[in-house]
Amino acid sequence: MSSSAFALNKIRNIAIIAHVDHGKTTLVDHLLRQAGTFRSNETVGDRVMDSGDLERERGITIQAKNTAVLYKDYKINIVDTPGHSDFGGEVERILSMVDGVCLLVDAAEGPLPQTRFVLRKALERGLKTIVVINKIDRSDARAQVVLNEVFDLYIELGANDEQCDFPVVYAIAREGKAFYKLEDRETSDSLEPLYATIIKHVPHPNVNPEAKLQLSIANLSYSEYLGRLAVGRIQSGNLKVGAMAAVISLDDAGNPKLRSFKVQGLFTYQGLKQVPADEVSSGDIAVLSGIEDITIGDSIVAFPDSSVSQADRWDPLTLALPRMKIDEPTLQVEWRVNDSPLAGREGQHVTSRKLRERLIKETMTNVALRFKETENADRFILMGRGELQMAILAEQMRREGFEFALGQPQILYKEENGETHEPMELAILDIPEFSQGTITQMFQLRKGMLMNIINRGSGRVRLEFKIPSRGLIGLRSRFMTETRGEGLFNTMNAGYEPFKGDVGHRINGAMVCDRSGDTNSYGMDGLQERGVLFVPERVAAYEGMVIGECNKDQDLWVNPTKAKQLTNFRTVNKDDAIVLTPPRLVTLERGLEWIADDELLEVTPKNLRIRKKILAKNGQPKSKKIE
């Protein structure tokens, strides 16, 4: 056990923030490697901080994670944050633990929506910022121009003179190199300039070691051995094993609730590990295990033990730190027990009790999600920030052996002064010039307002639209088609505005199977010209299952199970050699985006199917015309 007491002026707490994919996790890898946190027999893989299965597969960071390195005699606590906007709520909380940030910007892409979002949050908190222009090895890098764009962004966000005077470091995170000047590119072979800049420009924590213990829980983590871990920066006083402390949380009515406990499982970060400590000092990031039901925003404060005289006692509640604001959910999805004819064949967890328990468990560690019961015991509502967030949880759960069905994501409206307001989004598109007309029309049809056009004459155009979040549902796949896969599509939250009217959802109808049976190439061959198929041949289908998208705007009920009449003669003709176009298979994200209000996405460990809520052909709602 180490006494992890660091002098305040030897501690630095920073977060790495950026738009998605600009290289945060890669940079943290190399900061870890070069600081010598790993013993020589430990090999460091790529993007080690992305430790979750889904994070590694998708190449994105979903949860913010802590680490710490020793550099000279300094301890630098580093938090890697997610860049995707669905997980943007994480970043905001994380910033309460740090005193400075490295703002990473891709040298070719320049500042993008999430760059703006995270920088705004950092500036609002008055944090010291270091700008890192990353990926300068890209052949299309334009580091100097991007630096100017970053500077413009600071001005636009109302940064003061001191904030605008930020230090700049250029980097190739992937090679573990940083430089003060672009000309030094050939001579630098390490991240030394970045470490030095962090030590010099990021202040030590502004905390009070002499006062009573105060700490606010800013992040939760999980260890196989220790269970749930609560993470926070010590705001005043220190934490010692054996001392009495109290957790201040909220009860069901939203009032503060106090529970005292004896500090036992106490840790700090060292590299990728949490190491036991008997003391953690003011300003450092502490990790606590074994505190039941603790959650983000709770405070941990000093509790007077029996040695404190009556006269010196204090009320622990007066030490509570203000609770962090958590972004309101903007969208909700209904989670149902799977009741399709093929239900229960693959999953181990299929009951409403299991589903309910699992969803509630998720909301305990993921504060951006909220759970709601419905009148129907087999249906639950989960509110959150985006479709990707829901898709990630669904993927996690199917791997755990769950089966369930998801409804169409619904936007959450707000009532203000008797008027309905809806969430808006700023969509920033970078597209080939040839698609400008169609894309503009596509966005305007969905109540998108063109805010800005930038054409630098490179054959690509940047368009900015303000559009209701509703309008974006189902738009991404069409966007990719119209730009022939060359478009970049980024969005950011743009607050609430009065309801904009109907935006329409999907233009095309569904191709629906009208009976049970296995799909068959003979039966499906004729359907190909009427739309796009979602399933291959020889898979189980049922009445009411959607097997494709129709070219027309109406649903079409079809029989994909039709087999060729068998004759006594074996003939070789062209029907035996039917080769179907590969289907557009359903994925979680595409499925959630595509389904309409009268449809569900059926999720099992092995299959994803789209179905009608009401399966019977003759039971469909009147408004849907059936051929």
Ligand X SMILES: Nc1nc2c(ncn2[C@@H]2O[C@H](COP(=O)(O)OP(=O)(O)OP(=O)(O)O)[C@@H](O)[C@H]2O)c(=O)[nH]1
Contact set with ligand X (CB under 6 A): 18, 20-26, 47, 59-61, 82-84, 134-135, 137-138, 172-174
Smallest distance from the beta carbon of 33 to Mg ion, in angstroms? 16
Smallest distance from the beta carbon of 179 to ligand X, in angstroms? 12
Residue that is written with structure tokens 């935006």 in the block: 503
Question: Both tokens of residue 16?
Answer: 């790495």
Q: Interacting stretch for Mg ion, rule CB under 5 A, among 54-62, 269-277, 386-394, 512-520?
A: 54-62
Binding partner selected for residue 234 from ligand X, Mg ion, none, CB under the kind-specific 5 to 8 Å limit: none
Give 185-197 as a DSSP string: GGT--SSHHHHHH
Q: Is there a contact between 392 and 417 (Cβ–Cβ < 8 Å)? A: no
**Per CB under 5 A, 61 contacts Mg ion:** yes
Binding partner selected for residue 135 from ligand X, Mg ion, none, CB under the kind-specific 5 to 8 Å limit: ligand X
Calculate the alpha carbon distances from 479 to 91, 357, 408, 448, 489 in Å.
28, 38, 20, 14, 8
| Closer CB to ligand X, 146 or 596, in the complex | 146
Smallest distance from the beta carbon of 135 to ligand X, in angstroms? 4
Binding partner selected for residue 378 from ligand X, Mg ion, none, CB under the kind-specific 5 to 8 Å limit: none
Calculate the alpha carbon distances from 594 to 343, 382, 447 in Å.
22, 19, 19
Binding partner selected for residue 134 from ligand X, Mg ion, none, CB under the kind-specific 5 to 8 Å limit: ligand X
Smallest distance from the beta carbon of 495 to ligand X, in angstroms? 23
| Closer CB to ligand X, 74 or 170, in the complex | 170
Binding partner selected for residue 21 from Mg ion, ligand X, none, CB under the kind-specific 5 to 8 Å limit: ligand X
| Closer CB to ligand X, 26 or 299, in the complex | 26
Calculate the alpha carbon distances from 331 to 128, 323, 598 in Å.
33, 23, 18
Smallest distance from the beta carbon of 14 to ligand X, in angstroms? 15
| Closer CB to Mg ion, 61 or 493, in the complex | 61
Smallest distance from the beta carbon of 185 to ligand X, in angstroms? 12
CA gap 62, 28 in Å, rounded: 15
| Closer CB to ligand X, 172 or 287, in the complex | 172
DSSP state of 608: E
Q: Which positions from 6 through 35 interact with Mg ion, judged by CB under 5 A? A: 24-25
| Closer CB to Mg ion, 61 or 289, in the complex | 61
Select from 444, 446, 427 the least CA-distant residue to 503.
446
Check the CA dihedral 142-144-149-153 and report its sign.
positive
Burial class (CB in 10 A: 0-12, 13-18, 19+), 505: middle
**Per CB under 5 A, 67 contacts Mg ion:** no
Calculate the alpha carbon distances from 549 to 510, 539, 558, 600 in Å.
5, 17, 12, 15
List residues bridging with 464 in a β-sheet.
428, 452
For residue 171, what is the enclosing H or E element? Answer: strand 168-172
CA gap 267, 234 in Å, rounded: 13
Q: Interacting stretch for Mg ion, rule CB under 5 A, among 59-67, 310-318, 383-391, 546-554?
A: 59-67
Smallest distance from the beta carbon of 329 to Mg ion, in angstroms? 23
Select from 152, 145, 147 the least CA-distant residue to 133.
147
Binding partner selected for residue 228 from Mg ion, ligand X, none, CB under the kind-specific 5 to 8 Å limit: none
| Closer CB to ligand X, 103 or 172, in the complex | 172
**Per CB under 5 A, 65 contacts Mg ion:** no
Contacts with Mg ion by CB under 5 A lie at: 24-25, 61
